[in-house]
Structure 1
């Protein structure tokens, strides 16, 4: 996603600067007012916590501490969710929402820079950090379990956490669900090639074809190039990147222009994390989960196709499970349609969590 988002940013900044900044100031003030939590039993704590030996940004927000806790695991790697507070504000009426910018991402990267990330980025570090964050949140909020809400690359972490530590989670809720299959499934790759050819972009199609269909053989630079072509060749995904991703970042009270620049640098810094997942196979690792298991997927997702997510979900064994498509959404489905995503959380997840359904023996 790095290349396409960066290109979109450059185009936006080419607009008349004075008018753009004035509009931004008004909208950021509106978002800051929207984000206020005044409820007597509410919580609004945002700042840096020592996780894995470095300072990492964590936000804990909600209007009632008695509500279930949602812990997000963002995608990317490096695609932090800290810019999206205004879009998901309604979630905080029904859940305590915990956002964490992983090492190499968002405000964590902006705070420490490359030298402050504790060394080279690696999947194993993110996994250890995630486990530490879960324990921190449980202790901080006085809860035994949290709802795990991973998206996109975060689901690679999320599936492994849910399998290995069911005692920590009241439910798994995946979105933009990634299913790693050691390179066997080529549906997203094939569809990207077809879109490029249909659009007459022969050079781009040849570039993708030359890379081959196995992402485990790609270099980090090739993966970034593929992401750019995959997303940029789909109008709905491109529109989401412009309006939801870039729009949220530009108008977030947490993001100055310098921090926006750091966001993209963090994504570049985090690229090597993916190499640590080469060879992962979610089917071989197991489809049995001891906690309620949900997937809410964009019906038109071209990056992590809904059909692949559905096939994996159908094989899952869990105490309770549910699958739903989010219409008119590609990747970033929960953020493009936060209202619909909340409806699904309230209809399917919150009742199970509130009932205290324990993990299966």
Structure 2
């Protein structure tokens, strides 16, 4: 019965995804990037719309499963979704032994290759860079260093590592566990200490899992948005979903690599418009460190907005609100058009 319902739901979602406009684009394939085949999807109803290149999070968590939830975005933007090495169909194609070097530096170089491929394939000078969650670590670096390739940067579920100086999220987790009477979990987190640079990849993953499962709104989002998107994805078979989850475990090694990053030291001067759209109740990447970083940023245009009633995965829990922010704040800046 459950599989029958899944089949019916997937069929309905597949129908919803059909792009039938004369000037639309719906193509996906493996492209040779950084010496391995990497999956790139391009979808939109009008090729003349601004192009968005997503940098997904996780690490290792492809955004392809969210395509039905963000279908409305494709009326106003051409959306490029790329499964990084160690993620999604890129991981599935080669397996763990053919992912090559899995480092933040390698992902950064891959992203530049993907960007140039997309610019050439779609015939555009620049693309809008939209990064979420763990992808924002790479996204900020790309935006800071390459304004010649990107017309704007949009960070959501934005990470501000800040050299590990801000421990508010860690302290909030300890307080939440203590209030809930979860003494064993609290003892484990306390034993890890507040300095993530001292954590192992397993520690890093366990910390994230504990944050997600102990906050009601985040946990609800995981169940109703992330898990449902996985289960009903018309673009993935059950075998592909299992591989999707294996990719995230495989990519955990990237987590500790980010713990010593200091965005302030790397630079707060940007030569392109910068936007931060954060869930107002995000406990994994809290909004206040992002607000402080935004205040320190110098850019031709900068903006900060909270997405109400949202934790982590804010853009996918409320895709219509995120689209409204893209249309009213970002698109007019990158196109020079008035707000529609």
Equivalent residue number for residue 71 of structure 1: 53
**Structure 1 residues 1-361: aligned runs within 5 Å:** 19-119=1-101, 121-355=102-336
TM-superposed CA distance for 1:186, in Å, is 0.4
Distance 1:116 1:35 in 2: 31
SS of 1:170's equivalent in the other structure is: strand
Report Cα offsets for 1:256-275 as digits up to 9, x if no partner.
Answer: 11111111111111111123
Q: Would you say the 8 A contact 1:105–1:270 is kept in 2?
A: yes
1:55-104 residue CA offsets vs partner (Å, 9 max, x unmatched)? 11110000000000000000111011010110000000000000001000
Q: TM-score, normalised by structure 1?
A: 0.92
* SS of residue paired to 1:213: coil
Shift in Å at residue 279 of structure 1?
Answer: 2.0
CA contact (8 A) 1:297 1:306 kept: yes
Whole-Å Cα distance in 1 between the matches of residues 220 and 17 of structure 2? Answer: 25
- Cα distance between partner residues in 2 of 1:206 and 1:49: 46
Partner of 1:3: none
Query: Normalised by the size of structure 2, how large is the TM-score?
Result: 0.98
Instruction: Name the CA distance, whole Å, in 2 between partners of 1:278 and 1:243.
Output: 29
Structure 2 unaligned runs (5+)?
A: none
**What is the deviation of 1:278?**
3.6
Question: Take 1:279 and 1:296, find their aligned partners in 2: how far apart are those partners?
Answer: 24
Q: Contact 1:124/1:276 (CA < 8 Å) preserved in 2?
A: no
Q: Give me the whole-angstrom Cα distance separating, in 1, the residues matched to 2:131 and 2:314.
A: 12
Contact 2:204/2:255 (<8 A) preserved = no
Contact 1:156/1:178, CA 8 A, preserved across alignment: yes
* Structure 1: segments with no counterpart, 5+ residues: 1-18, 357-361
Task: Tell me how far 1:113 sits from its aligned partner.
Answer: 1.0
Residue 116 of structure 1 deviates from its aligned partner by 2.1
Count of aligned positions: 337
CA contact (8 A) 2:204 2:256 kept: no
RMSD across aligned C-alpha pairs, in angstroms?
Answer: 0.9
